[in-house]
Structure 1
Amino acid sequence: MREESVVARRLREARQRAGLSQALLGLRAGIDASVASTRINQYERGKHRPGLGTVERIASCLSIPAPYFYAESDQLAAWILAYTTVGPALRDAVLHEAKAESHPPAK
């Protein structure tokens, strides 16, 4: 049994969350109508892996950042999605706090 790829799993989750069929997502991502559903299905099953350009088009259609599809950790994937939903002030505050935590002042 082949282990499911993170790209395949995240693609299926994101598409389902958006309420789109495989065919509709494929069409919106610029895949030819005659193979749109089949191609997305193959990506979601891990039979084929979409190239970066395809991932970027799919991400754009789903209004999520492309790095989401590559995040191995579910927590990181959630952070990536959350990043898109908060304003710049909160993004800056979290980044500032993270930098402070990773580089504490010298004593």
Structure 2
Amino acid sequence: MSKHPQSLFGSRLRTARIRAGLPQDRLGVLIGLDEGCSSARISRYETGTHEPPFETAKSLAAALGIPAAYFYCVSDELADIILESHDLSVDELINVLEWLRHLKQAHVSQ
């Protein structure tokens, strides 16, 4: 029987791991866990039984090629924005930020 994530962190971790095509044990090994316990540890994070320390979350994010902030976004839309903007250059991020500020100002002015 498959366990479903019970925490926001766990849900986002599971989604990112599956997107990356990594099994739990491989992800655990990539962040330095012993091969014998890596699957169980990642499973505990995904089910919400345990939440990793932030340093471990950063390691998980690096192994998955995503920003750690993705794990903590309450809004799915904001999480998607973070994923989409992760690989942008600084100049591109500045352009996106300026566009968002303009959009927000236009909304406030209405």
Aligned to 2:46: 44
Aligned residues: 104
Q: Where in structure 2 are the equivalents of 1:1-107 lying within 5 Å?
A: 4-103=6-105
Q: Which runs of 5+ in 2 are unaligned?
A: none
**Identity rate, percent:** 39
CA deviation profile, 1:10-55 (whole Å, cap 9, x unmatched): 0000000000000000000111222100000011011111110110
**What TM-score does the superposition give when structure 2 sets the normalisation length?**
0.84
What displacement does 1:103 show? 4.9
Structure 1: how far apart are the matches of 2:21 and 2:27? 10
What displacement does 1:8 show? 0.3
Structure 1 segments (4+ residues) deviating >6 Å: none
Structure 2: how far apart are the matches of 1:87 and 1:67? 18
**What TM-score does the superposition give when structure 1 sets the normalisation length?**
0.87
Structure 2: how far apart are the matches of 1:51 and 1:33? 20
SS of equivalent residue, structure 2 residue 60: helix
